[in-house]
Amino acid sequence: MILHKAKGTRIEGKKSMSKALPLHEYLNPPFVFIPLLQQATPLKRIVEIGDKVAIGQVVALREGFGAMPIHASVSGTVTAIKKVWHASGRMVEAIEIQNDNQNRMDESIRVQTDISLLSRNDLIAKMQQAGLSGLGGAGFPTYIKYQTKCPIDVVIINAVECEPYITCDFMLINAYPEKLLKGLSYLMRAADAKKGVIAFKTYNTDIKKNLEPLLVNYPGIELYEVKDIYPAGWEKYIVQKITKKTYAGLPAEAGAIVDNSATAIVFADVVAENIPLISRVITISGEGIKNPQNFFVPLGTPVKELIQLAGGYVESLNPMKAWYIAGGPMTGRAILIDELVVNDTLGSVIVKPMPDEKHHPACLGCGKCADACPVYLTPTEIQRALESKDSQAIKELNAQKCMQCGLCSYVCPSHIEISDYVAKAKELLRKGA
Amino acid sequence: MARFANGKAPFLRKADEKTYGTQVIMRDFLIGLLPLIGFAWYKNGIKVYIEGNATFLEMFYPIIFIILGGIISMIIEGLFFIITDKEIRSFKSLMNRLSLSYAMIPGILLAMILPLYTPIWVLIFGCIMATLVAKLLFGGFGYNIFNPALIGYAAIAFTLMGVINRAGGALNGSEVLVDAIAGATPLSTLSTTNILSYQTLVAPYGSLWNFFIGTIPGALAETSALACIISFVWLSARKVIKWFVPVIYIGTVFILSWLIGIISGQTGIWFPTYSILSGGLMFGAIFMATEPVTTPKNPLGKMVFALFLGVFTVLFRFVGQYPEGVATSIIFMNIFSMPIDKWTGVIRTEGVTKKTIIKIVILVILIIAIAAYALFKASSIYTATIELPLIMRGWN
């Protein structure tokens, strides 16, 4: 149908900035801070100040829905419980661990010898024990997705990374192509799926070059190229493209499970060596950073140290006239103080000078926001309904479908915060319901 | 530790680029007017001068008239801001404010759709109606419900057309001398004779080719379909307007006119062609029906809007005896932009489901009913003369 063809908008990638330098491993920061928050769920701390911890030792528990353990990412001593800035834009309590640089491993970390004997349930249990969560940015506990009752045909690895600046998945895949395929084959076993697909953007020819020769050893895995548009990395978009099926709630309804490439790579280690989720790759980029690059770091590393390793801020940077963005530039959050720590959902930190302020005219009604919307909303109408507090109209206009990709604000020629109105309308619906 | 600025996602905005934004859209829109202004100057100025029917200074009058329209509008809007806006203290802040509200556009558009010999005071009256009444009193740029230029035009058309006609009307210095034209535009001939005949409707002006090029009597800058099409290509390529709005609008008028012709006994393709090439339809479809502020915002709404426009234009043009139809139908449909937007916004995101089917059915029935009524009425008004073979003409 002409009205519902998949679409997106081309946005300048600016990815070459952080691709120039190789992946920088920074495994032993003097201190790490494990935030006591996973997604929006507060964690229960199970270590006390003064306790000695080893890498991979459980230090906190997520309880209730999505229950799973959270592990220490370095070995050392718990020295304090203090508040740190978190990617959610708030200050949260964190366990401060002083690194003793001895890299002592917890006894749970050992090489798994009987991988081929592990059943589907064993693999799912391993995901839970490893505290594996979606590393793409949502942080959803992975094992929940694999406990689905729906039959799964295909596991899709989302390596699209459609937001500008971010290259962390790209760097990680090119560093560990074999691990990605291994991780995916384990994920397929955990889902009883016959097929695995790795989706990436067409211009990422390096990924193709690195993965293609290895595919012969992994039957059932294929590569899938998506167009260089935003939001091509949107889960629904990829699932619709690959399975040709649509769904309302979860991809499992269309027989698919989608995981981030970094999650698959971590899962390869989880299965082979029982190493839980303790590290990730993060992109430090933006016009405000001297040498933008990617870092492989233990979770809880202060971002400040990484920025220093990346040469610090450029001299001309005036922080009051710049943004410090946790996450991608399209969906991320402005953090007011540069005391952020790396957590599982933080894929990038972008430091970017603000553009010059201009006077912008009122909405001229060009309708570019409605044109750009990937879920075919009419943001101007939602704004109108919001201003008159008409929650019935907001519901009819399907504001709940909005995934906050930010494209409407991006294309607005009058610089109106139109996606903010839609987000507020969505909020109003949630409160009303 | 450094403190950073607060902000809202997305942190990238296309509007921050120099080559994108409302300013650029408006600039492109003005550039899109140039082919028409150029043609108006050629037809009503240069050509008349070459034919010896105008003095050298008179040659520039069409251009001056259009620019004057823009200046008058700016002055009115400037005065309005000085009186009402306390924040305007200096000339610079006034100019800044005017540049953000695109004050000159209604005046320019209005001047382009008025006859050449409109007295200046009538133009001023039209600009006041357009800028002050239709735009500023509604809240200024972005808040007006009706197309300002068309409101100005309508106000003049309903009150001062006699003054304009006495002052010289639409005919330029050369056209006045052609007997066959007899002070009428092609559409007014149709509404007075009620006969669909190539001989009376097209032949006095040469051929349909002249209609296409635009060398027929009519308002200052709206007669040339060719110039309109050039503008259309430019504006669509620059994404200032949606290409399908004019196409649907003109296409609807074409098909319905053809049907009216067939019902009346005139099956020639010339009649619908004549219909879409006259009466400012091209101009209205490309510049007025696509005007963003006063038309629906979402693409589906724009399509529905254009369809309604086509149907109403045919109704007003062929059933109402007023020889225009374009301006009236656009002003009339402006009222319904908001409800159309609301309905199509829901239909667009939902698709055809139980929730939306009633809305879709109502829209479809409305369009078909109005079109059927227009066809039915028109068929009882118009007759076609069957052209006699040449050899028999001398005998009767």
For chain A, the structural domain boundaries read 12-25+103-357, 360-432
Q: What is the mean pLDDT of residues B164-174?
A: 78
pLDDT for residue A296 is more than 90: yes
pLDDT at position B191 over 80 = no
How close A191 gets to chain B, by Cα (Å)?
32
Looking at the predicted structure, is the pLDDT value of residue B362 above 90? yes
* Co-location of B154 and B209 in the same domain: no
Q: Tally Cβ neighbours within 10 Å of residue A223.
A: 15
Lowest mean pLDDT among A314-323, B60-69, B163-172, B234-243: B163-172
Answer yes or no: is B396 within a domain. no
Query: Out of A336, A409, A413, whose CB is closest to B4?
Result: A336
Contact call for A397 and B294, based on CB within 8 A: no
Q: Into how many domains does chain B fold?
A: 2
Nearest neighbour of B101 by CB, restricted to A323, A361, A375: A361
Separation CA A110–CA A275 (nearest Å): 8
Q: Indicate the residue among B107, B134, B167 that finishes a domain.
A: B167
A329 in contact with chain B, both atoms CB, cutoff 8 A: yes
Which residue is listed with tokens 């970017």?
A: A352
Buried b (16+ CB within 10 A) or exposed e, A246-281: ebeebbbebbbbbbbbbbbbbbbbbbbebbbbbbbb
* Closest Cβ opposite residue A365 in set B15, B21, B292: B292
Q: What is the pLDDT of residue B395?
A: 42
CB–CB of A355 and B16 under 8 A?
A: yes
Flag whether B30 is in a domain: yes
Q: What angle do CA B126, B131, B137 make, to 5 degrees?
A: 125
Query: Residue A423: its chain B contacts at CB < 8 A?
Result: none
Q: pLDDT tens-digit profile of A115-142?
A: 888 999 999 999 999 999 988 878 899 9
pLDDT for A369 equals: 92
Position B134: which residue type?
A
Contacting residues of A for B293, CB less than 8 Å apart:
364-365
Same domain, B86 and B218: no
Cα A339 to Cα A331: distance, rounded to the nearest angstrom: 20
**Mutation target vs A (from B1, B6, B8, B11; most A CBs, 10 A cutoff):** B11
Identity of the residue in A334, A351, A359 whose CB atom sits nearest the CB atom of B6: A334
Once rounded to an integer, what is the mean pLDDT over residues A247-269?
91
Whether the CB-CB separation of B345 and B356 falls below 8 Å is answered with no
Which chain B residues are Cβ-neighbours of A369 within 8 angstroms?
297
Identify the residue whose tokens are 């990815």: A15
Distance, CA of B268 to CA of B311 (rounded, Å): 21
Report whether pLDDT(B396) > 50: no
Q: Is there a cis peptide before residue A22, judged by omega within 30 degrees of 0?
A: no
User: Both B148 and B218 in a single domain?
Assistant: no
Whole-number pLDDT of residue A136: 83
Residues 75-134 of A with CB under 8 A from B: none
- Residue of B12, B24, B101 lying closest to A410 (CB–CB): B12
Instruction: Indicate whether B226 and B278 sit together in one domain.
Output: yes
The values of phi and psi at residue B68, to 5°, are -60, -40
Q: Look at residue B90 in the predicted model and tell me its pLDDT.
A: 86
Same domain, B137 and B273: no
Which residue of B lies nearest to A361 if distances are taken between CA atoms?
B100
CA-based nearest distance B151→chain A, Å: 18
Identify the domain boundary among B113, B139, B167. Answer: B167
If pLDDT is split at 50, 70 and 90, which confidence band does B23 have? Answer: confident
Average pLDDT over all residues of chain B = 87
Partners of residue B13 in chain A, C-beta under 8 Å: 355, 409-410, 412, 415
**Touching B: A residues 182-241, CB under 8 Å:** none
The residue of B13, B19, B244 whose CB has the most chain A CBs within 10 angstroms, and thus the best one to mutate to test that interface, is B13
Res. B34 pLDDT band, cuts 50 70 90: very high
% of chain A at pLDDT higher than 70: 98
> Which pLDDT score, from 0 to 100, does residue A260 have?
93
Same domain, B132 and B92: yes
pLDDT in tens, A201-252: 888 888 899 999 999 999 899 999 988 888 888 888 889 889 888 887 888 9
Whether residue B189 is predicted with pLDDT greater than 70 in this model: the reply is yes
Q: Does domain A12-25+103-357 fall into CATH 3.40.50.11540?
A: yes
- pLDDT exceeds 80 at position B36: yes
Determine the pLDDT at residue B100. 85
Kindly state the DSSP code that residue A106 receives in the 8-state scheme: P
Query: Tens of pLDDT along A339-375?
Result: 899 999 999 999 999 988 777 888 888 899 999 998 8
Residue B300's pLDDT is what?
A: 93
What is the extent of the structural domain holding B286? 182-384
The pLDDT score that the predictor gives to residue B181 is 55
A44 Cβ under 8 Å from any chain B Cβ: no
pLDDT digits (tens, 9 = 90+) for B315-361: 998 887 666 789 999 999 999 999 999 999 999 888 888 888 999 99
Place of tokens 């100040």: A49
Q: Is B290 exposed, middle or buried (0-12, 13-18, 19+ CB in 10 A)?
A: buried
| Bridge pairing between strands A348-353 and A279-285 | parallel
A380:B12 CB<8 A: no
Cβ-based neighbours of B179, under 8 Å, separated by 6 or more? none
Which residue of chain B is at minimal alpha-carbon distance from A375? B349
Kindly give the pairing relationship between strand A195-201 and strand A221-226: parallel
Q: What is the DSSP letter of A394?
A: H
Instruction: Please report the beta strands in chain B, taking only residues with DSSP state E, as ranges in sequence order.
Output: 195-196, 383-384
Verify whether the Cβ–Cβ distance B297 to A360 is below 8 Å: no
Lowest model confidence (mean pLDDT) among A163-177, A304-318, B133-147, B267-281: B267-281
Element of type H or E holding A79: strand A76-85
- The reported pLDDT for the residue numbered B167 is 82
Which pLDDT belongs to residue B179? 58
Q: Is the pLDDT score of B98 beyond 80?
A: yes
CA dihedral A299, A302, A303, A307 (to 10 degrees): -130
Q: What confidence tens digit (pLDDT) does each residue in A405-415 have?
A: 999 999 999 99
Confidence at residue B394, expressed as pLDDT on a 0 to 100 scale: 44
Nearest-angstrom CA–CA distance, B243 and B174: 35
Diameter over CA atoms, chain B: 102
**Are B156 and B199 members of one domain?**
no
In degrees and rounded to multiples of 5, residue A334 shows phi and psi of -80, 125
Which residue pairs from A209-213 have beta carbons closer than 8 angstroms and sit at least 24 positions apart in sequence? A210/A173, A210/A174, A210/A177, A211/A173, A211/A177, A211/A180, A211/A181
Q: Write the residue in A322, A358, A376 that is nearest to B349 by C-beta.
A: A376
Say what the ipTM of the complex is. 0.86
Average pLDDT over residues B147-173: 86
Which residues on chain B are in Cβ contact (under 8 Å) with A419? 9-10
With CA atoms as reference, the chain B residue closest to A401 would be: B349
Of A144 and B386, the structure prediction assigns the larger pLDDT to A144
Q: Which residues of A187-212 are buried (b: 16+ CB within 10 A; e: fewer)?
A: bbbbbebebbbbbbbeebeebeebbe
Question: B88 and B228: one domain?
Answer: no
pLDDT cut 70: percent of chain B above it: 94
Query: Is B213 part of a structural domain of the chain?
Result: yes
Helix (H) or strand (E) holding A130: none
> Which A-chain residues 405-424 have CB contacts (< 8 A) with chain B?
406-407, 409-415, 417, 419-420
Amino acid identity of residue A263, one-letter, is T
**Rounded to whole angstroms, how far apart are CA atoms B84 and B76?**
12
Question: How far off is chain B from A221, nearest CA to CA, in Å?
Answer: 35
- Residue A240: which H helix or E strand, with range? helix A235-243
Q: Is the pLDDT of residue A1 over 50?
A: no
* Contact (Cβ atoms closer than 8 angstroms) between residue A181 and residue A211: yes
Side chain identity, residue B126: G
State the pLDDT confidence band at B393, using cuts at 50, 70 and 90.
very low
Distance CA B371, CA B256 (A): 8
Residues in contact with A308: Cβ distance below 8 Å, sequence separation at least 6, in sequence order: none
Q: What is the mean pLDDT of residues A185-200?
A: 93
> CB-hemisphere CA count at 13 Å for B380?
7
* Mean pLDDT, residues A404-428 taken together: 92
Kindly compute the dihedral angle of the four CA atoms of residues B286, B289, B292, B297, in this order, to the nearest 10 degrees.
-120
Closest residue in A to B345 (Cα–Cα): A378
B165 — pLDDT class (breaks 50, 70, 90): confident
B388, pLDDT greater than 60: no
**Same-domain status, B119 and B211:** no
